[in-house]
Amino acid sequence: MKQFKDRVAVITGGASGFGREFALIGARLGMKLVLADVQQDALDNVKTELEEQGAQVLAMRCDVRNADQVQALADATMERFGAVHLVFNNAGVGSGGLVWENTQADWEWVLGVNLWGVIHGVRIFTNLMLECAKKDPGYEGHIVNTASMAGLLNAPTMGVYNVSKHAVVSLSESLYQDLKLVEAPIGASVLCPYFVPTGISQSHRNRPDDAPAAAPTASQKAAQAMSDKAVSSGKVTAQEVAENTFKAIENDQFYIFSHPGALGNVQERMEDIVLQRNPGDPYKAAPHIRDILRAKLKAE
């Protein structure tokens, strides 16, 4: 996708973090913007900010777990702007702890947002984009699914999150191959950020009433503390990641990484699989982190 001016971008999780940065860049490039989020006040603030910059914005409260709400977002987009060119399936939440300690509500909430939200976005918007392409011989489109380095690695006390993001990587690779098979004028990318200062470590602020949180276990408290520290101390900004994402879209680049240096860990994991070795120690290069985590678990 080479042209952005006057094209329509749909962004879930658009009120904060990567989503907000995608929207700001889109506005700068002259795009028409559709923002979806569950946090109404933040959504209203971003809409106002973008409109003050001259952007055309449709902002809707949308829980991406709900297929009907994602369909309503698509319908409203077509009614307002008449087309869709760029989709960021970006909404995401985090939850940690030892994998057997996550409740059913934890699993349903995280998989509902992180995985089903992307499934609904792919299923609904890809079909819509293909219809748009039939009507426009010069059509260009692109879909970006936000996964994580946790979709390529499996750190302890992150099981529910790891599962959701591995599935997003698989879904994204499948989408890429299927679009290529039918020679669609639509590209696909998967964004795999590492620790970047966004609001995801505090995503429990938007946890819905239908997925109530139980009293946190020792491992969940430890995972939350580790996540807060890692995310807040990240040196790569959400803005930098968003800028690199738009460059990747323009270059039809599938894999997008915020921290390419972490790919050595991915390579080692792949070698474990190919060589049929047991999974390696994720803290081999930083054993003090494992020691801190173990100490927190024993302290309770």
DSSP class of residue 202 equals G
The one-letter amino acid code at 218 reads A
**Between the CA of residue 283 and those of 51, 196, 206, 287, what are the distances in Å?**
46, 19, 31, 5
Nearest to 109 by CA among 11, 209, 198: 209
Bridge-based pairing of strands 32-37 and 255-257 is: unpaired
Query: 298: exposed, middle or buried (C-beta count within 10 Å: 0-12, 13-18, 19+)?
Result: exposed
**Residues 139, 161, 176, 194: which is the catalytic one?**
161
User: At residue 246, what are phi and psi to the nearest 5 degrees?
Assistant: -65, -35
Query: In 3-state terms, the chain is what percent helix, strand and coil (to 5)?
Result: 55, 15, 35
CA 197 to chain centre: 14
Q: CB–CB of 10/37 below 8 Å?
A: no
Q: Which ranges constitute the DSSP H helices of 140-253?
A: 159-181, 218-232, 238-250
Report the DSSP beta bridge partners of residue 255: 190
Query: Is 161 a catalytic site residue?
Result: yes
The CA-based diameter of the chain, rounded to the nearest angstrom, is: 64
What are the b/e assignments for 1-11, b being 16+ CB within 10 Å?
beebeebbbbb
Catalytic residues: 161
